[in-house]
Chains A and B, each alone.
Chain A
Amino acid sequence: MERPTLPALVLSGLLLLGLATLNGRILDLAIPFLLLLGAGLLFQPPLPRLRATRELETTRAAKDQPVQVRLSVTNDGDRLEEVHLRELLPSGLTISEGASEVITSLDAGAMIELQYTVQAGRGLYSFGGVAATASDRLGLFRRRTILPVSDQLFVLPDVLKLRRIEIRPRATRVYSGAIPVRQGGAGIEFHGVREYQPGDPQRWINARATARHTQSLFVNEFEQERVADVGLILDARRRSDVRMGDHSLFEHSVTAMAALADTFLKGGNRVGLAIYSDAVEWTFPGYGNLQRERILRALASARTGDRPAFEGLELLPSRLFPGRSQIVLVSPLVNEDLTALVRLRAQGFHLLILSPNSVAYERSLLPPTSDVELAARIATVERQYLLLRLLHAGIQVVDWDVSVPIEQIARQILTMPPARPVTFAVGSEG
Chain B
Amino acid sequence: MANVVRLCIILVGGWLALMFGLSSIWLGSVASLGFGCLWLIGRETRRYESAMAGLVVFTILAVIGLSQNLPDWAMLLEVIGVLVAWDLHLFEARLAYTSRIENSASLIRAHLERLAIIAMLSLVLGGLGLGIDLRLNLLAAVGLGSLAVLLLARILRQNR
Contacts and interface: CB of A to CB of B under 8 A. Distances in A.
Interface stretch (A33-41, A171-179, A310-318, A391-399): A33-41
Most buried by A among B115, B126, B145, B155: B155
Size range of the chain A interface in the assembly: 35 or more
A5 B63 contact: no
A101 B83 CA distance: 28
B98 interface: yes
B107 A105 contact: yes
Nearest to B112: A137
Nearest to B95: A103
Contacts of A102: 98-102
A15 interface: yes
Contacts of A1: 52
Main SS at interface, chain A: helix
B63 A10 contact: no
Interface string A1-42: 111111111111011110100111111110111011101010
A19 B155 CA distance: 21
Interface in B96-145: 98-103, 106-107, 110-111, 114-115, 117-119, 121-122, 125-126, 129-130, 132-134, 136, 141, 144-145
Nearest to B59: A10
Given A6-B52, A32-B119, A102-B100, A139 B90 contact: yes
Contacts of A105: 102-103, 106-107
Given A99-B99, A139-B91, A6 B145 contact: no
A32 B123 CA distance: 8
Contacts of B98: 84, 101-103
A35 B87 CA distance: 13
B117 to A, nearest CB: 8
Given A1-B52, A24-B134, A103-B101, A29 B151 contact: no
Contacts of B149: 12
A12 B152 contact: yes
Contacts of B101: 102-104
B158 interface: yes
B107 A8 contact: no
Given A12-B151, A14-B63, A101-B100, A31 B122 contact: yes
A1 B155 CA distance: 12
A139 B51 CA distance: 15
B33 interface: no
Nearest to B77: A32
B19 interface: no
A139 B94 contact: yes
A17 B115 CA distance: 26
B145 A29 contact: no
A23 B83 CA distance: 21
A406 B118 CA distance: 70
B159 A29 contact: no
B12 interface: no
Contact of A5 (B118, B136, B155): B155
A84 to B, nearest CB: 7
Nearest to B98: A103
Contact of B126 (A7, A8, A28, A36): A28
A39 B155 CA distance: 13
Interface string A93-123: 0000001111111000000101000000000
B1 interface: no
A15 B115 contact: no
A29 B83 CA distance: 11
Contact of B102 (A35, A36, A112): A112
A141 interface: yes
A114 B100 contact: yes
A223 interface: no
A158 interface: no
A29 B99 contact: no
Contact of A12 (B52, B122, B126, B148): B148
Nearest to A142: B159
A320 interface: no
Contacts of A9: 152
Interface of B: 52, 55-56, 59, 62-63, 66, 72, 75-76, 79-80, 83, 86-87, 90-91, 94-95, 98-103, 106-107, 110-111, 114-115, 117-119, 121-122, 125-126, 129-130, 132-134, 136, 141, 144-145, 147-149, 151-152, 154-156, 158-159
Interface of A: 1-12, 14-17, 19, 22-29, 31-33, 35-37, 39, 41, 81-82, 84, 99-105, 112, 114, 137-139, 141
Given A24-B133, A29-B126, A103-B94, 15 more contacts: A5-B156, A7-B55, A8-B156, A9-B152, A24-B132, A24-B134, A29-B62, A29-B76, A29-B79, A35-B122, A39-B114, A41-B155, A101-B98, A137-B114, A141-B159
A-B pairs, 10 with minimum CB distance: A104-B102, A99-B100, A32-B122, A99-B99, A2-B159, A15-B148, A8-B155, A102-B100, A28-B129, A12-B152
